């Protein structure tokens, strides 16, 4: 098991955003988490990524406890998260955005001194590595033709893809995607699916939250349904989607009985 969540709970004052959630993700899986608004999906991802510290429970990444670790350490450990509302470096170009994301990659390959660019000579190997990685990722996310455009001038779909591109650049072992398909058009969703399958084939494990039930159904191996902070169903996507409690959560009690 790559990631194990054990009885994870997060309370904000009197409100329980995440309640006693337990599940695990195996290497190479694509796990889809869905649930209506307010079911705690984003909070769950924020807990895993270290942006929030849990009130109770444990998060085990490769059998080491990581709950409460700061976000940059979690990222360095191989778990990278994207944001629901795309977080970008707005004033910089697409290419520069992705370049900043090469931080971890360069550190791993070249060590701190060479990464920090303080040596007086040109480091051709480092520059080549960076340029190649950037080109590859931009091509995969269909952003190559806007590489010099400022991030502020992108369409919503492109912004989301840029967020995914930057996350991919960090060489994650586990990529957490927060509603990657929301707000995207048909074409863009297809680009996204293509990029995600590529990632999985290259060895990255994926955990995707989304609303779009059909998108998740297509992409995920396994599905987990959340409602009001608790897990209400788990299993193959098709089964989970037909689960009575899930139908009830989405469509109301009458439909569940019907």
Nearer to other proteins, 120 or 145 (CB): 120
Distance CA 152, CA 147 (A): 12
Tokens representing 56?
């109770």
Please, which residue, 51 or 213, has the CB nearer to other proteins? 51
State the residues that interact with other proteins by CB under 8 A: 13, 49, 51, 70-73, 75-76, 80-81, 83, 87-92, 99-101, 103-104, 106-107, 115-118, 166-167, 169-170
Q: Which is nearer to other proteins, 178 or 231 (CB)?
A: 178
Q: Is 55 helix (H, G, I), strand (E, B) or coil?
A: coil
Would you say 70 or 239 has its CB closer to other proteins? 70
Smallest gap from Cβ 109 to other proteins, in A, equals: 13
Strands 222-227 and 230-235: antiparallel
Residue nearer to other proteins on the CB measure, 81 or 160:
81
In angstroms, give the least distance from the CB of 35 to other proteins: 23
Closer residue to other proteins, CB minimum distance, 22 or 87: 87
Q: How many helices (H) and strands (E) does the chain have?
A: 11, 10
| Token pair for 218 | 């297509």
Q: What is the CA radius of gyration of the chain?
A: 19
Q: Which runs of E-coded beta strand occur in 46-168?
A: 56-61, 64-65, 79-81
Cα separation, 30 vs 152, in Å, equals 31
The whole-angstrom separation of Cα 239 and Cα 241 is 5
In whole angstroms, what is the distance from residue 76 CA to residue 7 CA? 25
Judged by CB, which is closer to other proteins: 29, or 178?
Answer: 178
Q: Cβ 101 to other proteins, closest distance in Å? A: 5
The label of the residue with tokens 């608004």 reads: 37
Sheet holding 30-34, edge to edge: 79-81, 174-178, 205-209, 30-34, 222-227, 230-235
> At its nearest, how many Å lie between other proteins and the CB of residue 183?
18
* Closest approach of other proteins to the CB of residue 178, in Å: 11
């Amino acid at each position: 098991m790559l990631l194990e969540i054990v009885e994870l709970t997060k309370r904000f004052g009197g409100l329980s955003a995440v309640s006693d959630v337990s599940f695990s993700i195996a290497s190479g899986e694509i796990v889809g988490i869905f649930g209506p608004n307010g079911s705690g999906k984003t909070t769950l991802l924020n807990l895993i990524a270290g942006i929030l510290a849990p009130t109770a429970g444990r998060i085990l990444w490769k059998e080491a406890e990581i709950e409460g670790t700061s976000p940059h350490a979690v990222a360095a450990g191989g778990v990278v998260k994207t944001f629901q509302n795309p977080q970008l470096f707005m004033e910089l170009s697409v290419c520069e955005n992705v370049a900043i994301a090469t931080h971890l990659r360069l550190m791993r390959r070249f060590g701190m001194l060479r990464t920090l660019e303080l040596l007086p000579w040109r480091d051709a190997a480092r520059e080549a590595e960076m340029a190649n990685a950037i080109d590859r990722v931009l091509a995969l996310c269909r952003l190559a033709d806007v590489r010099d455009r400022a991030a502020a001038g992108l369409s919503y779909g492109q912004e989301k893809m840029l967020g995914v591109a930057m996350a991919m650049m960090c060489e994650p072992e586990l990529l957490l995607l927060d509603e990657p398909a929301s707000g995207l058009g048909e074409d863009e969703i297809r680009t996204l699916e293509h990029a995600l399958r590529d990632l999985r084939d290259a060895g990255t494990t994926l955990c995707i939250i989304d609303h779009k039930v059909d998108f998740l159904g297509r992409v995920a191996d396994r599905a987990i349904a959340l409602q009001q902070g608790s897990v209400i169903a788990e299993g193959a996507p098709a089964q989970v989607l037909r689960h009575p409690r899930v139908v009830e959560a989405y469509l109301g009690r009458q439909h569940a009985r019907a």
